Amino acid sequence: MTTSHQLFQAAVLVVLVFIAADYLDLLKPNTSFQMSANTPEFLEVPALTKHTATVIFIHGLGDTGYGWKPVADMFQKDAGLGHVKWVLPHAPNIPVTINQGEAMPAWYDIATFGRDKDEDEEGMMKAKRAITALIEREVATGTPLERIVLGGFSQGAVTTLLTGLTIDKKLAGLAPLSGRLPLMGKFKELMSPHATSIPIFWGHGTADPIVSFKFAEESVELLQSLGFTVVKGGKKPEGLSFNVYEGLPHSTDPFELMDLKAWLKQVIPPTD
């Protein structure tokens, strides 16, 4: 027969279980910010040492964040970048005009690989909101803006420039690879007041058949006319460093990655 004392002990045990559960919840990191409808899915590559900086790197058309994990792994093996966490977002599957309207991973629609007068501004702005949500997530978990670098390849480079140069948050730097400046006709109006002071590593191949080298040059020239200090081949963490890779198609190579690594080590160096 159950005694009153046994019932009391059972009740106390239940209360203790709930208290313990509440306590464990307090120990968990606050992840409520991840509930934002704008936040994309992502792959997170933790820092190998104490985390003091983050690189958010955005993939290109048809890819996923996993496509850039080998680069994150390689960079982290460098003693000067072991403190860096990598966040690799995944684009949603959307209909893409150049893919005959079939769905594929893309940050925005593309009608042609040439000059597209009808840019998907709505899609680009949606991508900007998604990446901004990731930046806010990093800040919410304790990484200051001045320790966050935003980079990307192709569509990811376009999204990097649109986001990093127009939001009201000044990041440690931007690293667009094989990309171009979007919405060039109105970019002056979109730019944030601090945009010209953000360090930029811009890498592009002269044999790129997708985003032509000439298009990249024109993008850099426009930014220069808007007040950016452009240095060709510079690796210092200041101004817009325009790095040209002879014969490189629409891809990256060891030389570009080596230069990017050297630049990152200066922009977000270890703090210990």
* Catalytic residue check, 241: no
Q: Name the amino acid, one letter, at 178.
A: S
What is the residue extent of each domain of the chain?
1-30, 38-267
Per-residue pLDDT at 13: 38
| pLDDT of 16 above 70 | no
Per-residue pLDDT at 209: 96
Measured on CA atoms in the order 121, 123, 127, 129, is the torsion positive or negative? positive
CA distances from 228 to 3, 122, 164, 193 (A): 80, 26, 14, 12
pLDDT digits 0-9 by tens, 210-239:
999 999 999 999 999 999 999 998 777 889
Q: Rounded mean pLDDT of the chain?
A: 88
Please name which of 270, 267, 237, 266 lies closest in space to residue 83, comparing C-alpha atoms.
Answer: 270
Per-residue pLDDT at 115: 66
Lowest mean pLDDT across 8-22, 47-61, 122-136, 209-223: 8-22
CATH architecture entry for 38-267: 3-Layer(aba) Sandwich (3.40)
* Catalytic residue check, 253: no
Catalytic residue among 83, 109, 154, 212: 154
Q: How confident is the model at residue 116 (pLDDT cuts 50, 70, 90)?
A: low
Per-residue pLDDT at 36: 63
* Catalytic residue check, 5: no
| pLDDT of 117 above 90 | no
Mean pLDDT throughout 244-248?
98
Catalytic residue among 208, 212, 241, 259: 208
